[in-house]
A and B are shown apart, each in its own frame.
Chain A
Amino acid sequence: MKKTLIAFAALAAFGAAEASYAQNATDDTQVLISQIQTDKRAVVLSTLQLTDAQVALFTPIYDEYQGKMKQIMTRGSDVVNKFAANYGSMTDDAAKDILKEFFKVRDDRNALLEEYAKKMQRKLPATTVLQWVQVENKLTALLDVQAAAIIPIAR
């Protein structure tokens, strides 16, 4: 799980802000991020406060989602590596490839969340699914900012 989150953060860093933003993160946020990195699944389950019956419905779908997200994030990490490898001597062709792959990863990430939100709506109340999407978005945003200091703007 930790490896997935690092890859996830690396993808976010592709478009993330400068170090000053990471420094601006609140202490609470830092604590939350540490928690997330330890076990995102536990954070999600704890935040949603599902009943036992809902947990039984939620976790198989969520685990499947996380498995697929991990694959997308690995691809995202590859894009970041390509960016880093080309950074000092970025050609227009390399920039085009990176842009294409970066956008594909973002599309796949958004599509996966939408696909699994729909799957969950078939099993769980929509208010619960909305909560999950909110939590997922919040964790994504926190990780994105946490990764803010890693990658500079292309030159």
Chain B
Amino acid sequence: MRFGPLAIALLVTAVSPIVQAQDTGLASDEQILIKQVNTDKQAVYAANLGLTEEESAKFWPIYNEYEAKVKPLQDRLLANINTFAEKYDTLTDADAAAILKEKMAIEKEREALKQKYTKEMEKALPAKKALRYAQLETRIQILIARDLYSLLPLAR
């Protein structure tokens, strides 16, 4: 099992705004990359959850609903990184406080969403498979976090 392309795709997605600091909003290629990442994630789950046909019929609607709700949070994360990049050279304490608040809010909402939908999966699938799903989802988050934080410069 490999997450490399997935992590790289999200890394590029996350870092592009730094490179294009003058650009505002989200570039269309970033949206395409996010779509690609989501496609790759589906392949990861399909290959590793070991779902029966009956379980698949229950899993994918829940998964798709979860991903649809995660998408706006991904967009907010990118927007927050864009804000950080745009203001990097002249970052005020007010800017930093706003960026920090938004970052914490996004993370909290993302975690709550993951937990809510894992519970949905627990109701629809054997708990072992819900646990497996949560492990995979967390692994993906860890890889993305590692790549993202290693490239974002510290505030100054």
Q: Which of B3, B100, B127 contacts A130 (CB 8 A)?
A: B100
* A145, CB-defined interface residue at 8 Å: yes
- CB <8 Å contact, A141 and B154: no
- CB <8 Å contact, B100 and A47: no
Residue among A18, A21, A29, A142 with the highest chain B CB neighbour number at 10 A? A21
- CB <8 Å contact, B128 and A95: yes
- CB <8 Å contact, A127 and B145: no
Q: Mark A138-150, 1 if CB is under 8 A from B, else 0.
A: 1011101100100
Q: Mark A10-53, 1 if CB is under 8 A from B, else 0.
A: 00101111101100100001000000000000000001000000
Q: If the complex has contacts A17-B142, A142-B146, are A153 and B126 also in contact, measured as CB distance less than 8 A?
A: no
A contact face: mostly helix, strand, loop, or mixed:
helix
Q: If the complex has contacts A99-B118, A130-B96, A130-B99, are A137 and B142 also in contact, measured as CB distance less than 8 A?
A: no
In the bound complex, residues from chain B placing their C-beta under 8 Å from that of A140 are: 145
In the bound complex, residues from chain B placing their C-beta under 8 Å from that of A114 are: 104, 108
Q: Mark B3-38, 1 if CB is under 8 A from A, else 0.
A: 110000000000000000000000000000000000
Q: Mark A112-139, 1 if CB is under 8 A from B, else 0.
A: 0110010001000111011101110110
* A61, CB-defined interface residue at 8 Å: no
In the bound complex, residues from chain A placing their C-beta under 8 Å from that of B97 are: 121, 126, 129-130
In the bound complex, residues from chain B placing their C-beta under 8 Å from that of A18 are: 1
Q: Which of A90, A134, A145 contacts B142 (CB 8 A)?
A: A145
Give bound CA distance, A138 to B149, whole Å.
5
Enumerate B110-154 residues with CB–CB distance to A below 8 Å. 111, 115, 118, 122, 126-128, 130-132, 134-139, 141-143, 145-146, 148-150, 152, 154
B contact face: mostly helix, strand, loop, or mixed:
helix
In the bound complex, residues from chain A placing their C-beta under 8 Å from that of B91 are: 127, 130
* A62, CB-defined interface residue at 8 Å: no
* B46, CB-defined interface residue at 8 Å: no
* B155, CB-defined interface residue at 8 Å: yes
Residue among A12, A24, A114 with the highest chain B CB neighbour number at 10 A? A114
**What are 17 A-B residue pairs whose CB atoms fall within 8 Å in the complex?**
A14-B138, A15-B134, A16-B139, A92-B127, A99-B118, A99-B134, A103-B111, A103-B118, A110-B111, A134-B152, A135-B154, A137-B149, A138-B150, A140-B145, A141-B149, A145-B143, A153-B48
